[in-house]
Amino acid sequence: MDCKIYTKKSFPDWIRFKVPDTNEVKRVHSLLEEIGIATVCKSALCPNRPECWSRKTATFLLLGDICSRKCSFCAVKKGQPLPPDPFEKDKIIKAVEIMGLQYIILTMVTRDDLLDGGANHISEIVLSLKEIFPERKVEVLVSDFQGDVSSLKTILKAKPDVFSHNLETVERLCPIVRDKKCSYRVSLDVLRKVKEISPETKTKSGIMVGLSETRDEVLQTLKDLDGIGCSIVTIGQYLQPTIRQLHVSDFISPDEFKFYEEWANNNLSLKVIAGPEVRSSYHADFWCKEQKE
Ligand code: SF4
């Protein structure tokens, strides 16, 4: 990829960085530390934290914070993951209760080291949340489980409201942006199989732009996702988390994001949520309800 080096000073003015350091953010941070659980919101210093937390939404990072894959855009630690925390379920339940979360997103590092990829661990947490808080929504944002159908079935038997798995990028860039064990086609197949196994489960995916993909490639990705019955797709600007990850190739204008939303609205069945600040979980509670029937 031909990438220029951008510094924060050269970012276009539509990219916002300021995280309001409100008392509420501090309060939630110390609460999570006390309980001993990780959220992606906090680990990735997501600028949308105050908004999400005030909407009673948060994304928990399950199965540790060390990933068995090495995607070149991702700042999560890589290496030999630790055994799953047997008390993680109780910690999540406690956090949901204390934070009063109404929309819970459970995400994970990829665990190729575990026989089931961590599916049982996630499934048990979803089952407990559904049992204790039947009126609250649970979304899982999970790995590809190497396309393993029994792991997908294990997750789906817990009946998450939304099954999310990110393609992350267009097909041509997948070998550069994602780990070599990841595959655009396997990821599409995972979302297709989920609809086959559990047609009533909403499926969702996400891609980042600004990695040198073309508009046609983005549209093709949307068509591919529409073709396998995916309901919601998020498109957001890629931002280099630290100097060790891929450089930003270009900043996509707000008009281009709008174009993707409108094009999908006019040509496809799925709903696209696109914008520079959009992340996989951005306003997930709202879009889950508003998605096109
Ligand atoms: S699999 Fe997920 S968590 Fe692991 S490196 Fe890739 S994007 Fe990051």
Q: What is the pLDDT of residues 242-271, one digit of tens each?
A: 899 999 999 999 999 999 999 999 999 999
DSSP character for 47? T
Residue 166 CA to ligand 1 center (angstroms) comes to 10
Q: Is 74 in the pocket of ligand 1 (CB under 6 A)?
A: yes
Provide the H-helix boundaries in 36-156: 40-43, 49-54, 88-99, 119-132, 149-156
Q: Is 208 in the pocket of ligand 1 (CB under 6 A)?
A: no
| Rounded Cα distance, 250 and 237, in Å | 9
In a domain, 245, yes or no: yes
In a domain, 4, yes or no: no
Q: Which atom of ligand 1 is nearest to the CA of 74?
A: 8
In the predicted model, is pLDDT for residue 227 greater than 80? Answer: yes
pLDDT band of 1, cuts 50, 70, 90: very low
What is the predicted pLDDT for the residue at 9? 62
In the predicted model, is pLDDT for residue 18 greater than 70? Answer: no
Distances (CA, A) of 286 to 43, 56, 80, 129, 253: 23, 11, 36, 20, 24
How many domains is the chain built from? Answer: 1
Mean pLDDT, rounded, for 266-277: 95
In a domain, 2, yes or no: no
Residue 267 CA to ligand 1 center (angstroms) comes to 31
In the predicted model, is pLDDT for residue 275 greater than 80? Answer: yes
pLDDT in tens, 80-135: 999 999 999 999 999 999 888 889 999 999 999 999 999 999 999 999 999 999 99
Distances (CA, A) of 257 to 168, 197, 263: 16, 32, 10
Q: Which is more confidently placed, 241 or 50?
A: 241
In a domain, 65, yes or no: yes
Mutate to test the pocket of ligand 1, among 179, 186, 244 (most ligand atoms within 8 A of CB): 179
Residue 179 CA to ligand 1 center (angstroms) comes to 8
In the predicted model, is pLDDT for residue 171 greater than 90? Answer: yes
In a domain, 59, yes or no: yes
Q: Which is more confidently placed, 9 or 27?
A: 27
Query: What's 155's domain CATH number?
Result: 3.20.20.70
| Rounded Cα distance, 117 and 69, in Å | 12
Mean pLDDT, rounded, for 142-158: 98
Position of tokens 């999540």? 92
What is the predicted pLDDT for the residue at 35? 84
Residue 109 CA to ligand 1 center (angstroms) comes to 6
Range of the domain at 184: 9-290
In a domain, 113, yes or no: yes
What is the predicted pLDDT for the residue at 2? 43
Q: Residue 284: which H helix or E strand, with range? A: helix 284-290
In a domain, 3, yes or no: no
In the predicted model, is pLDDT for residue 163 greater than 60? Answer: yes
Q: Which atom of ligand 1 is nearest to the CA of 70?
A: 5
* Amino acid found at 162: V
Q: Which is more confidently placed, 188 or 33?
A: 188
Mean pLDDT, rounded, for 136-140: 95
Residue 72 CA to ligand 1 center (angstroms) comes to 9
Q: State the average pLDDT for the chain.
A: 89
> What is the pTM assigned to this prediction?
0.91
What is the predicted pLDDT for the residue at 65? 87
Closest residue by Cα to atom 3, ligand 1, is: 109
